[in-house]
A = this chain, B = another copy of it.
Amino acid sequence: MKKISGSTVTRLSQYYRILNDLIENNVETVSSSEIAQINSITAAQVRKDLSFFGSFGKRGLGYNTRELRNTIAGILGLHKKWNVALVGFGNIGRALLLYDEFRKQGFLFQAIFEVDENKIGRRVHGVDIVHVKEAPQILFSKEIEIVIIAVPAKNAQGIIDFFVGLGIKAFLNFATTSIHVPKDVIVKNENMSIELEALTYFLTNKK
């Protein structure tokens, strides 16, 4: 598998969603220009992205939606369920646990790690809140591969270092701080106010 850029991966995720919508609506074939239109990008970009993984489409016939969906799922690793742990059960953590989209896409919360004794021992939406010191056993027994960080910014680096030490290679980080990790570990930072700033840039400069 050739290495592809982060923005290509993001577009594949978007195609994957569009294809799921089309399949739900019983659409059997789709052209690159139709995918492009839904996604507000060029048809040439769609064809380039998809050709990267081999040629799926038949000229003039477009892509079979199911075939293409399944191929993209394979590329993105969505042909299986992923076990996820959440660290931090504050406002963000609580919302993430209830965010249906994760479950729908095959991401299953298997544990919530906390240090707050008032929260530890509770079971929320079928998931146990446990002390972070139990992580070594639980990551192993629950086969957790992805850890979502929803702790205060000042604790994020220390928590991530701890989980890196336990062998976790992939983090989704909601703490708004710069994180340093070894080269074989990936951290995706989710900062919702950055999206808002794209809007204020637009509103400020459109006049």
Contact between chains at A101 and B192 (CB < 8 Å): yes
The answer to the question of A91 belonging to the interface, with a C-beta cut-off of 8 Å to chain B, is yes
Stretch at the interface among A62-70, A76-84, A113-121, A135-143: A76-84
Chain B residues contacting A176 (CB-CB under 8 Å) are 17, 101
Contact between chains at B190 and A192 (CB < 8 Å): yes
The answer to the question of A55 belonging to the interface, with a C-beta cut-off of 8 Å to chain B, is no
CA distance A196 to B102 in the complex (A): 8
CA distance A162 to B193 in the complex (A): 24
The answer to the question of A134 belonging to the interface, with a C-beta cut-off of 8 Å to chain B, is no
CA distance A21 to B175 in the complex (A): 14
The verdict on A201 contacting B95 (CB below 8 Å), with A10-B194, A102-B192, A194-B14 known, is: no
Question: How many copies make up the complex?
Answer: 2
Contact between chains at B194 and A13 (CB < 8 Å): yes
Chain B residue with the shortest CB-CB distance to A75: B201
Q: Which of A6, A101, A102, A186 has the most CB of B within 10 A?
A: A101
Contact between chains at A195 and B190 (CB < 8 Å): yes
Q: What's the least CB distance linking A179 to chain B, in Å?
A: 10
Chain B residue with the shortest CB-CB distance to A187: B199
Contact between chains at A204 and B13 (CB < 8 Å): no
Q: Which of A39, A101, A146, A196 has the most CB of B within 10 A?
A: A196
The verdict on A77 contacting B170 (CB below 8 Å), with A38-B178, A99-B192, A192-B96 known, is: no
Partner-B contacts on A (CB < 8 A): 1, 3, 6-7, 9-10, 12-14, 16-18, 21, 38-39, 75-78, 82, 84, 91-92, 94-96, 98-99, 101-102, 104-105, 107, 145-146, 169-172, 176-178, 184, 186, 188, 190-206
Give 12 new A-B contacts, CB below 8 A, not counting A102-B193, A169-B203.
A1-B205, A10-B194, A17-B178, A18-B178, A77-B197, A77-B203, A77-B204, A78-B197, A91-B99, A102-B192, A172-B196, A172-B199
